[in-house]
Amino acid sequence: MLKIIVILLFIGVLLSLGSGLVFLFRDQQEQGSRRTLYSLGIRILLAASLLIVLFYGFSSGQLRLDAPWHNRTSLMDRPAEPEIDGL
């Protein structure tokens, strides 16, 4: 359920970004138009909500990192590999 909320908030941020770009180009001749500003406000609200949901998900354990490279040890922590002569 939480993953669906994260995806919807991310899509909302992208849609708000696109609508702000459209409003910016369409409203260049109009002096009193505030649609770009409202789009920015909505984008900030959605992005803040996304960060809060992500923080809650990771802190509660509902979201976790399952990337294959996440639990790998770094190159500095690995033991040295033996050198093969003759190659």
pTM of full prediction above 0.85: no
* Residue 7 belongs to some domain of the structure: yes
* Residue 28 belongs to some domain of the structure: no
Q: Residues 23-58: pLDDT tens digits?
A: 989 888 888 888 888 999 999 999 999 999 999 999
The CA distance from 19 to 21, in Å, is 5
Range of the domain at 15: 2-23+33-59
* Residue 53 belongs to some domain of the structure: yes
User: What pLDDT band is residue 65 in, cutting at 50, 70 and 90?
Assistant: confident
* Residue 84 belongs to some domain of the structure: no
Cα angle at 81 between 78 and 84, to 5 degrees? 170
The CA distance from 63 to 5, in Å, is 12
Domain count of the fold of the chain: 1
* Residue 46 belongs to some domain of the structure: yes
* Residue 72 belongs to some domain of the structure: no
User: What pLDDT band is residue 3 in, cutting at 50, 70 and 90?
Assistant: very high
